[in-house]
Amino acid sequence: MMKPWDIIKELESDNSRLKKEAIIRRESDANNIRFFNGVGACLDGFRTFGIQKVPESKKDGPGLTQEQFEHILVRLEERTLTGNEMREAVAKMCLTATMDEWNYWYRRILIKDLRCGVTHKTINKHSTMKVPVFECMLADDSKKHEKKMVGDVYVEPKLDGVRVITICDVDKDEVKMFSRNGKELNNFPKILEQFDSMLDQMAESMVFDGEIMSDDFQTLMREIHRKGGAKTDDAVLNIFDIIPLWAFKEGGYSASLQTRKEMMDEYEYPSNISKVEYVKMNLSEDDGQKQFADYNKLCIDKGFEGIMIKPMDGPYECKRSSLWLKVKPFIEVSLSVTDVEEGTGRNIGKLGALIVEGTDGGKFIKTNVGSGLSDTDREEFWKAKDKLIGQVVEVRADAITQNQNATDEYSLRFPRFLRFRGFVPGEKM
């Protein structure tokens, strides 16, 4: 039987998707249980080991047995091995293992990253093993599904925060928070403690879907990515959905959103956890259309990122779904070109980006605009680059954001070029 680390090295050495898939099928046919058990531990988003830094091996040890590794892995997963004892155990395993088996196998399981271009989808499609998929429900763009904006719906504000999936496991008596991609979040102990206090209210293990918020988006990002194990307790988690854990693992829940909202109402929430407010309306009626327009304007005026439209009878699907539609307003600002940048790669010899600045609503904005330009635009504008300086350009963006390193300077989130004003001869300014 081929050694797992040699298989990883083989997968890593060839970028061909077909080759990787063939290797997975080969090992599945060979019933390489050791390989797939390790792959499963690594790719299963519901299994976490509570370890952030794992050293690489610099020299060969005598070798680490699978039994030794799995013993430590179980203790890490159960959180009976933590702190200095955890670090000492991991360091000892690193010194015991050979370089290849540690760097290409055991270490990658611990950091939950195979680093060889193989995902859970590859494993599930090309082997007999099935890895649980950690996926939440994602909204689609309303502009692509306008015909679905009908009937009885819940309309909610679209929050400008970070998606968080909170798993309350009553069987294990534990609470864990994850990003939408399955990365465990440990920076919010106060919210974790408050969910832990709610476990007694739950008859079964539940998953709470929501958005974590702070004073502003930049502050929140700093909290999410704080280094050195720093914690924060000044954030609030806004819950907008709930499903049983077993349903989340199976990829969805058939109960209607109306039922799920009623399930959310069964719990009492502490101070740092709240339910997202929503409004019921019928978009197939004239009154509902007017109500929708008024609510949309209200959310924009309050500074929300947009609104969400969700059918009252819709299920929860662990994938991107047109059952949830996001309606995001755009802002448009007029700014002056102060400089230009040449493109790279296929855009060498063409315009890469416009450097623009100006004031809008009393806020000084400075940003680069490289999206929204066609190939023809890039060629023609680069030929006339000397004439671009000082021109007024209209830019569309999702929002105005404050620059992290300049308190009196703002930028744009996802700026896109619309048009020049007055650039074309004879064009009305």
Give pLDDT, residue 50. Answer: 87
Grade residue 237 by pLDDT with cuts at 50, 70 and 90.
Answer: very high
Lowest mean pLDDT among 27-36, 220-229, 418-427: 220-229
257: which 2 tokens? Answer: 């959103």
Going from the C-alpha of 321 to that of each of 164, 206, 240, 329, 396, the distances in angstroms are 18, 21, 16, 20, 26
21-49 burial by CB neighbour count: b if 16+ within 10 A, else e? Answer: eebbeebbeeebeebbebbbbbbbbbbbb
Cα(281)–Cα(312) distance, rounded to whole angstroms?
10
CA 268 to chain centre: 28
Structure-model confidence comparison of residues 292 and 401, the more confident one: 292
pLDDT score of 425 more than 60: no
CATH superfamily of 331-421: Nucleic acid-binding proteins (2.40.50.140)
Q: Is the pLDDT of residue 234 over 90?
A: no
Q: Return the sign of the alpha-carbon dihedral for residues 264, 270, 272, 277.
A: positive
Question: Cβ atoms within 10 A of the Cβ of 124, count?
Answer: 15
pTM over 0.85: no
Task: Say which residue, 418 or 402, is predicted with more confidence.
Answer: 418
pLDDT for the residue 166: 97
CATH 2.40.50.140 domain position(s) in the chain: 331-421
Query: How far is the C-alpha of 269 from the C-alpha of 206, rounded, in Å?
Result: 14
CB 333 within 8 A of CB 397: yes
Q: Assess whether pLDDT exceeds 80 at residue 226.
A: no
Q: Is the pLDDT of residue 218 over 70?
A: no
Q: Which tens digit of pLDDT belongs to each residue from 367-393? A: 999 998 999 999 999 998 888 998 889
Query: pLDDT tier at 424 (50, 70, 90 boundaries)?
Result: very low
pLDDT given for residue 129 in this prediction: 92
Residue 279 CB: number of other CB atoms within 10 A?
16
Average pLDDT over residues 205-225: 70
pLDDT exceeds 80 at position 221: no
- Residue 321 CA to residue 318 CA, distance in Å, equals 8
Cα–Cα distance list, 417 to 54, 328, 380, 385, 425 (Å)? 44, 18, 15, 16, 19
Quote the pLDDT of residue 229.
45
Domain with CATH 3.30.470.30 in the chain: 138-327
Largest CA distance in the chain: 80
Among 188, 229, 203, 247, smallest CA distance to 87 is for 229
pLDDT tens digits along 29-72: 999 999 999 999 999 989 999 888 899 999 999 999 999 999 99
pLDDT at 422 over 60: no
At 80-117, the pLDDT tens digits run 999 999 999 999 999 999 999 999 999 999 999 999 99
Q: What is the Cα–Cα distance from 50 to 184, expressed in whole angstroms?
A: 8
SS3 357: strand
How many beta carbons lie within 10 A of that of residue 230, not counting itself?
10
- The answer to whether the Cα torsion of 375, 379, 382, 384 is positive or negative is negative
Summarised one tens digit per residue, pLDDT across range 311-346 is 999 999 999 999 999 987 777 888 999 999 999 988
The residue with greater pLDDT, 221 or 202, is 202
Pairing of strands 162-169, 174-178: antiparallel
Mean pLDDT over all residues of the chain?
A: 89
Q: Give percent of the chain with pLDDT exceeding 70.
A: 93
More confident residue, 179 or 222: 179
Would you say residue 220 has pLDDT above 90? Answer: no
Q: What is the CA radius of gyration of the chain?
A: 26
Question: What pLDDT score does 361 carry?
Answer: 76
C-beta atoms surrounding 369 within 10 Å: 21
Q: Which listed CATH number (3.30.470.30, 3.40.710.10, 1.10.3720.10, 3.40.50.10490) goes with 138-327?
A: 3.30.470.30
